[in-house]
Chain A
Amino acid sequence: MYVAVKGGEKAIENSYKLLELERRGPAEVLELQVKQIQHQLRLSVAKVMNEGALYDPELAALAIKQASGDLLEACFLIRTFRSSLPRLGYSKPMDTLKMRVKRRISATFKDLPGGQLLGATYDYTQRLLDFSLLDQKLNTDDEGYFENSSSPSDVGDTPSVMDILEQENLLQADTPLPGDPDPKDITREPLHFPTDRPTRLQNLVRSDEGFLLAMAYSTQRGYGHTHPFAAEIKYGFVSLIIEPEELGFPIDIADIEVTECQMINQFAGNKEIAPQFTRGYGLVFGHQERKAMAMSLVDRSLRARELDEPVESPAQMEEFVLSHSDSLESSGFVQHLKLPHYVDFQSELELLRRLRSNHSKEITP
């Protein structure tokens, strides 16, 4: 029966075949097209692009299809693909003031320059199942909406709520780090604690949405409260500009969809600085308001050390947050327990038998 331990090769082959059958499902059901996922499950696509750390809606949709809808598995596929891509260059800083907004709200001012724009959101819907979606509708009329929204239009800048507050010195200015160093690239250098804010933000944008949400939530329940206000949340298209050294002029290479969240938080001030609002920042691919908001709350709580606040709660501890935020790392390590541990377990069994036999000897001398 020791031979039963053998045969892993064949078993794996069969597992691959079964997986493919299960993924496809019954043949009489139409096969899901990648394009359908890309356009009709766009919020899943956004999540996979964020945590997969690659802006490519088509490949994200493909990954979702291949992973049978397991979004963490899809993120894994994208991340692995990403790590095989060459780095061609860095873009210029993205100018979100020039965002062509599809939605923009502020919870701090009733009206503001640029206005409030609700856009497409589930926020104000009643969460009732729409049974009419059970029926497959053939061609609906999109009223030309998608042609209009994807074509570049020349809207002016949307003034930032933050700038308005900054003018009055009510809000801490967003100044670069001393010397304005290039941000570290967390895909090129492993995390080294303590970290700076650009490093933390890179980690947070790739981090698992559920983990980030729970961390953000914990700050609202007293574990490192930051008194947040959602100053501005917006979603829309932003131009991505590169300036190749050999050309020396900027090129607009793409429009990407992002969600940005600017959170303002109370700060008691200290000996040097008068009381002032401070910022938490969130920026994610696609339409992902929940993630952008959670990110901005956690960004702010992780600034505790910098702002001389006591570091007492998990969401303020950078090692705790940043080392456990990545779903590839956590999912891989939790699930590695499925791998054989015969040898370790055998060692523990042997020890336990010995300890137990010593124990009973001591009790009955």
Chain B
Amino acid sequence: MTDSISNSTPDPLQDPLQDPLTDRTKDRTVFANHDQSTWQSSSPSSPQTGFNFAYLDEKTKRMIRRAILKAVAVPGYQVPFASKEMPLPYGWGTGGIQVSASIIGKNDVLKVIDQGSDDTVNAVNIRKFFQKTTGISTTQNTEEATLIQTRHRIPETPLKEDQIMVYQVPVPEPLQRLEPRAQETRKMHALADYGLMHVKLYEDITHFGKITSTYDYPVMVDNRYLSSPSPIPKFDNPKLHQSPALHLFGAGREKRIYAIPPYTDVQSLGFEDYPFELQTWSQPCALCGSKSSFLDEVITNDKGGHMFVCSDSFYCQKNLSGEKENEL
């Protein structure tokens, strides 16, 4: 991260955003030019002119980095920040994009996934955005990446100390669906009064015999703040506990940033007699045979036929190509 920050301070005189009205045509070209370059594991290229490195101006990046530093200092606490309108809609990853844009450096290697896959439309779009505005290298290889922006998954390949995960978060407030008023939930966080959430989980058990949250399953971070892990499946929750990587969560529309620093305790909520439990599948991945990854259901015909395959497309391909990882 230090590297990223020192790398992204261009000369303000060279910064075309300082005077964007001088040439309006320049600004327009960026999203009209759709280069045909492939990205499987793209090398650095020169970024598109007309915008600052990683799109955001340096003052905005500084503002966001301050929020990130505060978030890292108080694990799980939601730090308000002046979220900017981005060229992608709110709800489509603007929080994650702003966090990534503020910390990305010229030597970073970026991986972007959505639903575990590098090739879903929004992941492609976000990766292209950063390629255009930074020219940095991108990869699908989880191990190669220094910065991984994700929506709804944590890669199956274990993360390392020098990696940063950036999550796109739709609803940062885990209590919002129980108490929509921010004035009230802020008080609950201040008092660490999370009875409301425990009652919700208890009611699940009385109605259905089990806790029915399957994704965005609430966690306690560092034994203090109730937090949303973002809508990752609860299958991924244990990967957050004592993770060697830094996890940053950006919610653009709701204007909040929070963090789980490396080696932080992250506990999924549960009760002694009804503990947190993981999803299981009765069959392995139909493609690579993995028994330990999160599986997506793929419908194969209109007669109810279906198969289960890894949601993490890189992991699945890697298994297929025979390079079994040691951890498996």
Question: Which residues of A pack against B, CB within 8 Å?
Answer: 1-2, 5-9, 11-13, 16, 59, 76, 79-86, 187-194, 319, 323, 328-329, 331-336, 339-344, 346-351, 355, 358
Contacts of B57 in A (CB 8 A): 84, 86
Contacts of A188 in B (CB 8 A): 82
- B90 touching A319, Cβ below 8 Å: no
Closest Cβ neighbor of B19 among chain A residues: A86
How far in angstroms is the closest Cβ of chain A from B63? 8
Supplied contacts A83-B85, A190-B82, 18 more A-B pairs, CB within 8 Å: A2-B298, A8-B124, A12-B125, A80-B86, A84-B17, A84-B55, A189-B82, A190-B255, A193-B183, A319-B180, A328-B89, A328-B90, A329-B90, A339-B121, A340-B115, A343-B233, A343-B294, A343-B296
Given A9-B38, A190-B80, answer yes or no on A342-B85 (Cβ-Cβ < 8 Å): no
How far in angstroms is the closest Cβ of chain A from B29? 13
Pick the contact of B119 from A7, A59, A194, A343 — CB < 8 Å?
Answer: A7
- B89 touching A343, Cβ below 8 Å: no
Question: For the complex, would chain A's binding face be called helix, strand, loop or mixed by DSSP majority?
Answer: helix
In the complex the two chains form, what is the Cα distance from A332 to B235 in whole Å?
28
In the complex the two chains form, what is the Cα distance from A351 to B279 in whole Å?
9
How far in angstroms is the closest Cβ of chain B from A150? 21
Given A84-B57, A332-B89, A358-B209, answer yes or no on A193-B121 (Cβ-Cβ < 8 Å): no
Question: Which residues of B pack against A, CB within 8 Å?
Answer: 17-20, 24, 27, 34, 36, 38-39, 51, 55, 57, 80-87, 89-92, 94, 114-117, 119-125, 151-153, 170, 180-183, 208-209, 212, 214-216, 231-235, 253, 255-256, 279, 281, 287, 294-298, 300, 309, 311, 313
How far in angstroms is the closest Cβ of chain B from A167? 39
Contacts of B92 in A (CB 8 A): 332, 336, 339
In the complex the two chains form, what is the Cα distance from A343 to B154 in whole Å?
11
Closest Cβ neighbor of B297 among chain A residues: A346
- A343 touching B86, Cβ below 8 Å: no
- A85 touching B20, Cβ below 8 Å: yes
Closest Cβ neighbor of A82 among chain B residues: B85
Closest Cβ neighbor of B92 among chain A residues: A336
In the complex the two chains form, what is the Cα distance from A85 to B27 in whole Å?
11
- A192 touching B214, Cβ below 8 Å: no
Can you offer 28 A-B residue contacts whose CB atoms are under 8 A?
A1-B300, A5-B313, A11-B121, A12-B125, A79-B85, A80-B86, A84-B20, A84-B57, A189-B82, A190-B81, A191-B255, A193-B183, A319-B180, A319-B182, A323-B182, A328-B90, A329-B253, A332-B94, A333-B253, A334-B91, A336-B92, A339-B92, A340-B122, A341-B115, A342-B311, A346-B311, A347-B235, A349-B297
In the complex the two chains form, what is the Cα distance from A358 to B205 in whole Å?
13
In the complex the two chains form, what is the Cα distance from A86 to B84 in whole Å?
13
Pick the contact of B208 from A7, A341, A350, A355 — CB < 8 Å?
Answer: A355
How far in angstroms is the closest Cβ of chain A from B315? 13
In the complex the two chains form, what is the Cα distance from A341 to B151 in whole Å?
10
In the complex the two chains form, what is the Cα distance from A351 to B256 in whole Å?
30
Contacts of A189 in B (CB 8 A): 80, 82
Closest Cβ neighbor of A336 among chain B residues: B91
- A343 touching B183, Cβ below 8 Å: no
- B120 touching A350, Cβ below 8 Å: no
Pick the contact of A2 from B27, B279, B309 — CB < 8 Å?
Answer: B309
- A5 touching B82, Cβ below 8 Å: no
Closest Cβ neighbor of A348 among chain B residues: B214
Contacts of A187 in B (CB 8 A): 82
Given A2-B309, A351-B214, answer yes or no on A83-B86 (Cβ-Cβ < 8 Å): yes
Closest Cβ neighbor of A351 among chain B residues: B214
Contacts of B91 in A (CB 8 A): 329, 332-336
- B34 touching A16, Cβ below 8 Å: yes
In the complex the two chains form, what is the Cα distance from A76 to B115 in whole Å?
26
Contacts of B51 in A (CB 8 A): 84
In the complex the two chains form, what is the Cα distance from A46 to B83 in whole Å?
25
Given A319-B181, A336-B92, A340-B120, answer yes or no on A351-B212 (Cβ-Cβ < 8 Å): yes
In the complex the two chains form, what is the Cα distance from A80 to B88 in whole Å?
9
Contacts of A193 in B (CB 8 A): 181-183
In the complex the two chains form, what is the Cα distance from A237 to B121 in whole Å?
46
- A8 touching B215, Cβ below 8 Å: no
In the complex the two chains form, what is the Cα distance from A59 to B28 in whole Å?
11
In the complex the two chains form, what is the Cα distance from A2 to B209 in whole Å?
35
Task: Name the residue among A319, A323, A346 with the largest chain B CB count within 10 angstroms.
Answer: A346
